[in-house]
Copies of this chain bind each other. A is one copy, B any other.
Amino acid sequence: MSMKSTAVPYKIYLSEDEIPQSWYNVRADMKTKPAPLLNPGTGRPMSAEELGVVFCEELVEQELDDTTAYIPIPQEIRDFYKMYRPAPLVRAYCLEQKLGTPAHIYYKFEGNNTSGSHKLNSAIAQAYYAKKQGLRGVTTETGAGQWGTALSMACAYLGLDLKVFMVKVSYEQKPFRREVMRTYGAEVTPSPSMTTAVGRKILEQFPGTTGSLGCAISEAVEVATSQPGYRYVLGSVLNQVLLHQSVIGLEAKTALDKYGVRPDVIIGCAGGGSNLGGLIAPFMGEKLRGEADYRIIAVEPASCPSFTRGKFAYDFCDTGMICPLAKMYTLGSSFIPSPNHAGGLRFHGMSPTLSQLYADGLMEARAVEQTAVFEAAELFARCEGILPAPESSHAIRVAIDEALACRESGEAKDILFGLTGTGYFDLTAYQKFNDGQMSDYIPTDEDLARGFAGLPQVPGQD
């Protein structure tokens, strides 16, 4: 609801000194903290020392810190942020008009950078700490390619070596993302590959596999832990990533506060949860502290429905089962979405922080089918002039549905959603849609049962 009547411009840009000085750590305000990562061998919580084999030291500290509410952003990272931040908060006047809704729709647009998404917010932070630790390089995985692109930009800027394992289906469908990464100097390998033990094992078991994020993670972790001077970095799911992404929500809130707007509904797409976790962070903080109430909706693909049909359980983050166990909503680490699923948001699990918030009833979740998502994307592109990423379009779909509900009810709600990125590298999917060839896919209960069957045995787990 709006409390002031000041005319809101199409785009609210903050000044550079309004880029947040600190990240906000929502865990500090959570009564029930996210469950700790477990060592799959011992079943005990991972120590900082154990995590330090895989991750950079300061990132391990951030991963484990669930009490410090504000963590200062180093000046070097803030300088990099200035390249593409503050990101605009846009009032979707044209979309509102097209829908004939009394609702006010706002979106925080994170796609105005070459990685095309919000991923750069955490990429530069993780690369910075790796550099500070004196490492030679980092390894990672990428699905749709946004994270790999973002990390290659950050590593090029800091002079760090980067090895990316790219999910094979994306590597083939998105050669342009691969070339962006190469232009930024990264080494890109399709996953599963023959260059790692875990890749060879997966290829032997599933010769025709198109790959998965879980599998690419296993390969990247293996390389990071077997080569001196390397660590592994991850673009989503982890607490540290949600922490870095809080700049999205902090900026959005600062911009809305300027115009006295308090959103009634906040909507974000959710794959591993990095964008949604970042967008909602300061709002959820107010909710947790009892200072304000917001309706918060996570939107996921019906083809990979971890929130809406998954189990809240300890599970592996990777297919190769070499990573720590995380307690999260999961479809099982062997779950791979149908190849007809066009975008990202294909990770089998969900951020442990968001999972706990969802389990505690602090947010809702909704699953949407991809044809309806692309219909929303097309409508949005034609009104608002931005061709959205398929991932972001999940949030657009639900924002439109909420705005249409307002048209029925006559309510002038303030709707905020995260427009995480652009779809410039997703034109193969758009072509399918334009040609009327796009189809939907919903896994059967049997499909899901197969994934759940692989959940690990952990003391206290159902």
Q: Which residues of A contact B (CB under 8 A)?
A: 9-11, 13, 15-16, 80, 82-84, 94, 112-114, 116, 120, 153, 156-157, 175-176, 179-180, 182-185, 378, 381-387, 422, 424-425, 427, 430-431, 433-434
Contact = CB atoms under 8 A, between A and B. Distances in A.
B114 A157 contact: no
A167 to B, nearest CB: 18
Contacts of A382: 153, 156-157, 184-185
Contact of A114 (B120, B182, B381, B434): B381
A202 B82 CA distance: 51
Nearest to A81: B10
14 contacts: A9-B82, A10-B82, A10-B83, A83-B385, A84-B385, A112-B112, A114-B424, A120-B385, A153-B382, A176-B176, A183-B387, A185-B382, A424-B424, A424-B425
Contact of A82 (B11, B82, B113, B387): B11
Contact of A184 (B185, B381, B422): B381
A178 to B, nearest CB: 8
Given A10-B16, A113-B385, A180-B430, 15 more contacts: A10-B82, A80-B385, A83-B384, A84-B385, A114-B386, A153-B385, A175-B431, A176-B424, A179-B427, A179-B430, A179-B431, A182-B430, A182-B434, A183-B430, A183-B434
A179 B422 contact: no
Most buried by B among A112, A120, A156, A387: A387
A157 to B, nearest CB: 7
Complex A-B, nearest 3 residue pairs according to Cβ-Cβ distance, in ascending order: A176-B427, A10-B82, A179-B427
A119 to B, nearest CB: 13
Contacts of A378: 183
Contact of A386 (B80, B113, B179, B422): B113
A433 B185 CA distance: 12
Contacts of A381: 114, 156, 183-184
Most buried by B among A83, A156, A175, A185: A83
A182 B116 CA distance: 21
B16 A180 contact: no
Given A175-B427, A185-B382, A382-B185, A387 B180 contact: yes
Contacts of A113: 385-386
Nearest to A424: B424
Contacts of A385: 80, 83-84, 113-114, 120, 153, 157
Contact of A383 (B16, B82, B120, B157): B157
Contact of A15 (B9, B94, B175, B386): B9
A90 to B, nearest CB: 8
A16 B13 CA distance: 10
Nearest to A116: B424
A369 to B, nearest CB: 19
A387 B157 CA distance: 13
Contacts of A180: 387, 424, 427, 430
A201 to B, nearest CB: 31
Contacts of A176: 176, 424, 427
A105 B387 CA distance: 30
B114 A422 contact: yes
A387 B112 CA distance: 11
A104 to B, nearest CB: 16
Contacts of A424: 114, 116, 176, 180, 424-425
Contacts of A82: 9-11
Most buried by B among A113, A157, A383, A385: A385
A371 to B, nearest CB: 14
